[in-house]
Structure 1
């Protein structure tokens, strides 16, 4: 290993949580099984424009994905074999409430009870994400996250799930990456529901923040012993130009990309001064919202893959849409063109810790997609091993300087359906043949297993 890599995972200590993550829509398939209703991602991935083109880059859908709705026991056995003590997975709201509201679909809820039980039987701790982007289409038809009523429907969904599973689930995450829900789903249209509207962005931003605060209290009311968290994509945004004007753009981008999601949860409101763009949220704020948006959290999940770059525009607060990729200093790129910048994770952890408000921080996602092939039963993904070793070195360094980060979840257990990118990118520690659904542990999976005491061996 190079000096900037962590070769010995045990260096992070015996109290460190090692986990691996997935998301329901990306792995489950079975889009109508057992009474499931459609989600916005079912709708989005089946859209065609007048030229017959789909919004998914490779034209695939998640109708089968990794077939994990039926193969969940096999997948949990892989988590155990790789040596991970925790499995982060999400619940599909439209499986549990097909219309987004009561009545509850008992068959869908019972499925997740079986998944939780399988984790516990395997000695793997379930970490449950309540919302990982797959909003019931029926709620989208009524305005989705642009409608204030969705906040209340979300809180009711949280209550239903916590009452059903709270006796067996300790760790909960309210949302996965609101940044992508709000910006990719409501400004760029690159992700479901595919909206392209600034008013939609402002409404969704505020309503997701409000749902996080109110949802945290609904969860605690239903499960007083819950360990409650939420996750955010956090990154040092970098402007594309030199000089003081670029610094202005960076501060505005930081306000929109990071602070607009974190600070309302802490009772600090929106950072209007750094980004006048955010003044557009004001019409959606009602009396009491500043208090209601404050989240009662035990931990914050930090998610980081690469820095976000916000190209400069000369009017503070107005900037082009943030984007991944575009190496400026010779950084290595993933197969999606994302820069590999491990130090960005350290900067993100420091930025969160600087608030002095989060007593526990967990890296709830990190990983990379690379071109790779299954040859003679093996996938030699040494670049992924290097990626994890370098990022985990940043976690170790952050712990050494007092940041209370005590867990890391690799993304992902399996190659899966990577949202608008489709089935082409491969992030998994386990290779999936999408034709046969055969699972093959990659060298990166064996690397974790060797150090974490897993039973998997080449």
Structure 2
């Protein structure tokens, strides 16, 4: 049991979380600029206005990536830098930034993986209805085309969306992320469908530039359903529940309602039976344009919960008192990386890439000038060992991106959560590679063999 010889090792970030320079070179506000400036919406009124100043320090950050031995780097593009109004005039300065970044990565021997949308919607598009307005799918396709025409000669690995469950579930249903709405179910289902249509159109736009050379993926998120034991009956029950439409936290927190349309070109029957009446009129005609055109399934995974089979399905196993937690109070469940990737691989028959996995800790620079984070090393060791088991079970797992490259703006949680392999002093912008960063370098160099030393 080991990682394939061509396994992809990397780390990930997102534009609004690290770039700063929110008014530089023609960039206009995103929904997160406006949301963060609204009192009470983020911890300590933190925002991405400066963040990690990556927009100005990208060369230094690439040097750190090289020191970490990264093979690949997943980053997102800021739509309001590239088309500030959301549609219409392209801003050359915004594209130039990403062009320089890509060139720098390639010069350092690091493979760029670009995500088109990691939540920073141009605010002007939000004022026109955002994801609830069907016109957004054409806007997104135009944006994808503008990016591909400039970067597509050097970037071949693309992701359309990051965590649609959070885009809609946190931003449009719960209202705790930008744009801060608590929309009715009709609007939520319109938003879901418009988002999926946008994915399909963006894939077409990318293909028009890169054809089959481009490797295009889609990145949902989930809590893993972990079977209480490895018996075939328990595993099958957990797998069925993982893809069923029985949201626990709201209408938008499910898996197959997003991934079945992308990979099969159909909505799941249980979703349609419950929510089909709320979808836009004639939604069926859009399905061929959504499905069957995506090369890999990304998945962002941090935690999960154990379930056991019952006569009618599954039920959660109670969490024992004192269960290990990260600083953000997510349970430590290493088998998260065994079961969810395996289930996705079996259902869709596509390569699965762990596009985010990591943890928040209370990290600081110690008196010796270093950042000692043994818990991150232990956590990641345990999770990657379980990912190896998924590969041993026969799952097609193609890569792993640690979240995150550096400490950054954790959305509504502001800067109180530190997920990075690199510590960032937000007052001075000094970067310090943590012990876990040097350890991860040895994981990459050994292709995971040191996980068992």
Partner of 2:415: 423
For 1:427, what is the secondary structure of its paired residue?
Answer: coil
* Cα distance change of structure 1 residues 276 and 334 upon mapping to structure 2, 3 Å threshold: farther
**Residue 368 (structure 1) aligned with residue 359 (structure 2):** yes
Whether the 8 Å CA contact 1:187–1:200 is kept in 2: the answer is: no
Q: Structure 1 residues 137-146 or 210-219, which shifts more?
A: 210-219
- CA deviation profile, 1:264-318 (whole Å, cap 9, x unmatched): 11235223426754235423553521111214112111110112799xxxxx9xx
Partner of 1:201: 188
Partner of 1:216: 203
What is the TM-score when the length of structure 2 is the normalising length?
0.87
Q: Structure 1 residues 118-127 or 285-294, which shifts more?
A: 285-294
For 1:61, what is the secondary structure of its paired residue?
Answer: coil
What is the TM-score when the length of structure 1 is the normalising length?
0.86
CA-based RMSD of the aligned residues comes to: 2.5
In 1, distance between residues paired with 2:268 and 2:70? 39
* Cα distance change of structure 1 residues 43 and 277 upon mapping to structure 2, 3 Å threshold: farther
Q: Structure 1 residues 228-237 or 79-88, which shifts more?
A: 228-237
For 1:234, what is the secondary structure of its paired residue?
Answer: strand
**Residue 351 (structure 1) aligned with residue 338 (structure 2):** no
Of 68, 71, 74, 2:60 maps to 74
* Cα distance change of structure 1 residues 97 and 18 upon mapping to structure 2, 3 Å threshold: same
Whether the 8 Å CA contact 1:230–1:299 is kept in 2: the answer is: yes
Of 224, 243, 249, 1:236 maps to 224
In 2, distance between residues paired with 1:236 and 1:415? 25
Q: Structure 1 residues 408-417 or 285-294, which shifts more?
A: 285-294
- CA deviation profile, 1:170-209 (whole Å, cap 9, x unmatched): 1111111111011111100011111101222111111111
**By how many angstroms is 1:365 displaced?**
0.5
**Residue 12 (structure 1) aligned with residue 3 (structure 2):** yes
In 1, distance between residues paired with 2:319 and 2:53? 36
Partner of 2:130: 144
* Cα distance change of structure 1 residues 281 and 308 upon mapping to structure 2, 3 Å threshold: farther
Partner of 1:452: 444
**Residue 184 (structure 1) aligned with residue 176 (structure 2):** no
- Unpaired runs of at least 5, structure 2: 228-236, 308-312, 447-453
* Cα distance change of structure 1 residues 274 and 93 upon mapping to structure 2, 3 Å threshold: closer
Partner of 1:340: 332
Of 112, 132, 152, 2:118 maps to 132
In 2, distance between residues paired with 1:47 and 1:238? 39
In 2, distance between residues paired with 1:214 and 1:123? 31
For 1:129, what is the secondary structure of its paired residue?
Answer: strand
Partner of 2:27: 36
Whether the 8 Å CA contact 2:15–2:76 is kept in 1: the answer is: yes
Partner of 1:323: none
In 2, distance between residues paired with 1:451 and 1:186? 39
- CA deviation profile, 1:377-421 (whole Å, cap 9, x unmatched): 111111111111111112111111211102100000100000111
* Cα distance change of structure 1 residues 33 and 396 upon mapping to structure 2, 3 Å threshold: same
Q: Structure 1 residues 158-167 or 297-306, which shifts more?
A: 297-306
Whose strand proportion is higher, 1 or 2? Answer: 2
Partner of 1:97: 83
For 2:255, what is the secondary structure of its paired residue?
Answer: helix
In 2, distance between residues paired with 1:146 and 1:453? 45
Whether the 8 Å CA contact 1:203–1:284 is kept in 2: the answer is: no
* Cα distance change of structure 1 residues 90 and 211 upon mapping to structure 2, 3 Å threshold: same
Whether the 8 Å CA contact 1:29–1:63 is kept in 2: the answer is: yes
Of 17, 22, 26, 1:26 maps to 17
In 1, distance between residues paired with 2:114 and 2:270? 36
In 1, distance between residues paired with 2:209 and 2:278? 30
Partner of 1:292: 289
Whether the 8 Å CA contact 1:411–1:428 is kept in 2: the answer is: yes
In 1, distance between residues paired with 2:107 and 2:96? 16
* Cα distance change of structure 1 residues 238 and 346 upon mapping to structure 2, 3 Å threshold: closer
Q: Structure 1 residues 164-173 or 285-294, which shifts more?
A: 285-294
In 1, distance between residues paired with 2:306 and 2:16? 28
Of 150, 157, 165, 1:164 maps to 150
Partner of 1:400: 392
Whether the 8 Å CA contact 1:216–1:295 is kept in 2: the answer is: no
For 1:98, what is the secondary structure of its paired residue?
Answer: coil
Whether the 8 Å CA contact 1:34–1:107 is kept in 2: the answer is: yes
Count of aligned positions = 419
